A and B are shown apart, each in its own frame.
Chain A
């Protein structure tokens, strides 16, 4: 019922923003249009640029690079996070010993690592994958660690009373519990994988969306910067949509949030 109304309101907010932007840059209200257009460009110019990027086919190569980096960063980060999350949750001593180091590593702002990764892995996609990895790894790691440790003791005791051995417990109890937690952070971790890729490209590369934006910035091409941001946003929304589809498919067993509070 309210779905149509919601969409209309969402569109109205977007159009209102574009209209405001257009009016303020097309007419000399706050400052001469020459100035405002230099600093803020105009929505029509930005849209035209976005269109041109797609029409010329120039952007596809960059999108592809960024997508590959994002997927690789997510895959490696999630894989490592799951592996170490499991290991730490099942080996108390290991977790206790390495706890301060994990915290220290997680506290580090990842951007400072980017030049090091560029040094180690070159300016190709792998330095960006490495940066995304450091972001994704910790999110997945902490979630899986928590998920495995907080498996309901009753479910666990019941599974053991059913005669399950360690391997079967892993498969039927720990693994699904850990996956649940991982998927609950899927949106965040995929988002971070993309951030890692784009920031990495921004700081040093020859392809990708981050590179496109950086390139435009270096010649004060505000239209180009905004066009890059628009393309990036569309990209994020599409990826998020795909993640939502995957999540729905994999977590069918979970109660709908509406019947279970804001769990």
Chain B
């Protein structure tokens, strides 16, 4: 159902920014430089990336390659130094109100209970407190925390806090989900459980997802498409791979399928050769 993403939509209409076929997120020749333009640190450049509505995209790359920077640009937390960010065909100004963001670090308000943390997400939408709490209760039940609604974040485990954060993001029903290594700090088993939970919730209500991870296996198991980035600075996209695995998937079992091994091998080969190429160039330049 996702349109081909191989070519970008060139003919975007200014009169009709909300065209139904517009990609949920579109990054066009985006570059992000920190500090001054001259002598600053360019984290990413020449980034062209499009996410269709309902498409699950995983972005992988070595640590420090600017994956999070791309998410922050899509969220509007960061303005690109060059290029454009478009959300459903409309240029992004300020924060991206149609996106939800799941952070790698703990982002819950420590002074609010799980229920209050989730319910407060509806306050900007003008939902009454009573209704918000009822919905928050329902969402906490969906992420398996029905018994923990009145706990404060420090009373919850890392995985439980991530569940609360997930409920907090999803209760607003955002059209785009931005996730920055959300399960990074968790142990391997909790990661699998959280991955399956995420896939279940996503399958029930498909949104465009940009999921950043440094774990290639996690990326393949979750995504429709895997985007590979080179090492920073001046990181770019060095490959995009469609994942030919059927859904619904089970994170643990899908890894045993031959197709999984095949695509893993393919992506890893690309990643490795590109990294080696970049490394060789670096060596040549320095000598």
Identify whether the interface residues of A are mostly helix, strand, loop, or mixed: helix
Inter-subunit contact B103/A154 (CB<8 Å): yes
Cα distance A177–B110 in the bound complex, in angstroms: 9
Inter-subunit contact A157/B154 (CB<8 Å): no
Contacts of A260 in B (CB 8 A): 154
Cα distance A17–B25 in the bound complex, in angstroms: 75
Which chain A residue shows the least CB distance to B96? A161
Inter-subunit contact A253/B107 (CB<8 Å): no
Inter-subunit contact B152/A163 (CB<8 Å): no
Which chain B residue shows the least CB distance to A251? B111
Cβ-defined partner of A154 (8 Å) among B107, B123, B153: B107
Asked if A98 CB lies within 8 Å of chain B CBs, one says no
Interface size bucket, A side?
A: 20 to 34
B79 to chain A, nearest CB (A): 14
Asked if B100 CB lies within 8 Å of chain A CBs, one says yes
Contacts of A162 in B (CB 8 A): 120-121, 124, 168, 172
Which chain A residue shows the least CB distance to B101? A161
Which chain B residue shows the least CB distance to A250? B111
Inter-subunit contact A176/B123 (CB<8 Å): no
Asked if B77 CB lies within 8 Å of chain A CBs, one says yes
Which chain A residue shows the least CB distance to B99? A161
| CB-contacts of B121-140 with A (<8 A) | 121, 123-125
Cα distance A260–B152 in the bound complex, in angstroms: 15
Inter-subunit contact B109/A159 (CB<8 Å): yes
A154 to chain B, nearest CB (A): 5
Inter-subunit contact A155/B101 (CB<8 Å): no
Which of A87-95, A164-172, A188-196 lies on the face that meets chain B? Answer: A164-172
Cβ-defined partner of A158 (8 Å) among B97, B99, B103, B154: B103
Inter-subunit contact B95/A160 (CB<8 Å): yes
Cα distance A250–B88 in the bound complex, in angstroms: 44
Cα distance A64–B82 in the bound complex, in angstroms: 68
Given contacts A154-B107, A157-B101, A161-B99, contact A168 B123 (CB under 8 A): yes
Contacts of A159 in B (CB 8 A): 109
B240 to chain A, nearest CB (A): 26
Interface size bucket, B side?
A: 20 to 34
Contacts of B172 in A (CB 8 A): 162-163
Inter-subunit contact B106/A163 (CB<8 Å): no
Which chain A residue shows the least CB distance to B106? A154
Asked if B12 CB lies within 8 Å of chain A CBs, one says no
| CB-contacts of B240-268 with A (<8 A) | none
Asked if B108 CB lies within 8 Å of chain A CBs, one says yes
B156 to chain A, nearest CB (A): 11
Inter-subunit contact B109/A155 (CB<8 Å): yes
B193 to chain A, nearest CB (A): 22
Cα distance A253–B111 in the bound complex, in angstroms: 5
Inter-subunit contact A158/B107 (CB<8 Å): yes
Cα distance A154–B113 in the bound complex, in angstroms: 18
Asked if B270 CB lies within 8 Å of chain A CBs, one says no
Cβ-defined partner of B111 (8 Å) among A157, A158, A168, A180: A180
Given contacts A161-B101, A162-B168, contact A253 B110 (CB under 8 A): yes
Asked if B112 CB lies within 8 Å of chain A CBs, one says yes
Cβ-defined partner of B108 (8 Å) among A155, A161, A164, A177: A155
Inter-subunit contact B109/A161 (CB<8 Å): no
Inter-subunit contact B124/A163 (CB<8 Å): yes
Contacts of B109 in A (CB 8 A): 155, 159, 172-173, 176
Asked if B13 CB lies within 8 Å of chain A CBs, one says no
Cα distance A154–B121 in the bound complex, in angstroms: 15
Inter-subunit contact B107/A252 (CB<8 Å): no
Asked if A14 CB lies within 8 Å of chain B CBs, one says no
Inter-subunit contact B95/A161 (CB<8 Å): yes
| CB-contacts of A244-263 with B (<8 A) | 252-255, 260
Cα distance A255–B110 in the bound complex, in angstroms: 9
Inter-subunit contact B124/A161 (CB<8 Å): no
Contacts A158-B107, A253-B113 aside, 13 further interface pairs with beta carbons under 8 A come to A154-B107, A155-B107, A155-B110, A158-B101, A161-B99, A161-B101, A163-B95, A168-B124, A172-B112, A177-B111, A253-B110, A254-B154, A255-B154
| 30 A-B interface contacts by CB (under 8 A) | A155-B106, A155-B108, A155-B110, A157-B77, A157-B101, A157-B103, A158-B103, A158-B107, A160-B77, A160-B95, A161-B95, A161-B96, A161-B99, A161-B100, A161-B101, A162-B124, A163-B97, A163-B124, A163-B125, A165-B124, A172-B109, A172-B120, A173-B109, A177-B111, A180-B111, A253-B111, A253-B152, A254-B110, A254-B154, A255-B154
Closest 10 pairs (CB-CB, A-B): A158-B107, A163-B124, A255-B154, A253-B152, A176-B111, A161-B101, A154-B105, A154-B107, A162-B121, A253-B111
Give the interface of A toward B (CB within 8 A): 152, 154-155, 157-165, 168, 172-173, 176-177, 180, 252-255, 260
